[in-house]
């Protein structure tokens, strides 16, 4: 596998427990240089009205007005990144890369990748304090 930070994959989250995301969902992956068989993953879910501050923000997919800090809207996949469910996962859980209609593998653009990484850092700092 040729993995890059910010690539989006279909991931098998089957056998997760409780309120954790379950079944097959998209996720953004990040490589871990010291581990070969594991990646860091941010699960994605479909955007819902509950993710945004107002119905107008939801209809316009205003990424700046998500309701909680632990969510981030990603335009490239029209998805919500669930920072509260970040995890390390086995490569065996990666099913297929996410591709557009032209079979081009989708990866977050540099701006969105930086935005997500910054938000992950802030979120990790918040929970570790």
> Can you tell me which residue has the tokens 């309701």?
67
- What is the domain range of residue 92? 8-128
Does residue 30 belong to any structural domain of this protein? yes
Does residue 77 belong to any structural domain of this protein? yes
Does residue 3 belong to any structural domain of this protein? no
pLDDT digits (tens, 9 = 90+) for 21-72: 878 999 999 999 888 899 999 999 999 999 999 999 999 888 888 888 888 8
pLDDT digits (tens, 9 = 90+) for 81-117: 999 999 999 999 999 999 888 888 889 999 999 999 9
Rg (CA), the chain: 14
Q: What is the pLDDT of residue 2?
A: 82
Does residue 79 belong to any structural domain of this protein? yes
CATH number of residue 59's parent domain: 3.10.129.130
Q: How far is C-alpha 105 from the geometric centre of its chain's CA atoms? A: 16
Q: What is the pLDDT of residue 64?
A: 82
Given pLDDT bands bounded at 50, 70 and 90, which one contains residue 14? confident
CA distance from start to end of the chain: 36
Number of domains within the chain:
1
* 61 within 8 A of 49, measured Cβ to Cβ: no
Q: Is the pLDDT of residue 78 over 80?
A: yes
More reliable by pLDDT, 129 or 41: 41
Does residue 2 belong to any structural domain of this protein? no
Q: What is the pLDDT of residue 36?
A: 85
| Distance in angstroms (rounded) separating the CA atoms of residues 39 and 91 | 7
Does residue 46 belong to any structural domain of this protein? yes
pLDDT digits (tens, 9 = 90+) for 60-74: 888 888 888 888 888
Q: What is the pLDDT of residue 90?
A: 93
- Whole-number average pLDDT of the chain: 89
């Amino acid at each position: 596998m040729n993995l890059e930070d910010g690539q989006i994959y279909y991931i098998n989250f089957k056998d997760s427990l409780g309120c954790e995301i379950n079944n097959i969902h998209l996720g953004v992956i990040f490589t871990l240089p010291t581990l070969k068989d594991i990646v860091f993953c941010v699960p994605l879910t479909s955007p819902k009205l509950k993710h945004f501050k107002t119905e107008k923000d939801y209809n316009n997919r205003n990424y700046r007005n998500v309701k909680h800090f632990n969510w981030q809207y990603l335009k490239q996949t029209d998805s919500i990144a669930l920072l509260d469910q970040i995890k390390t996962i086995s490569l065996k859980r990666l099913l297929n890369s996410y591709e557009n209609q032209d079979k081009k593998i989708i990866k977050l653009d540099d701006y969105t990748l930086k935005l997500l990484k910054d938000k992950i850092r802030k979120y990790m700092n918040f929970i570790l304090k």
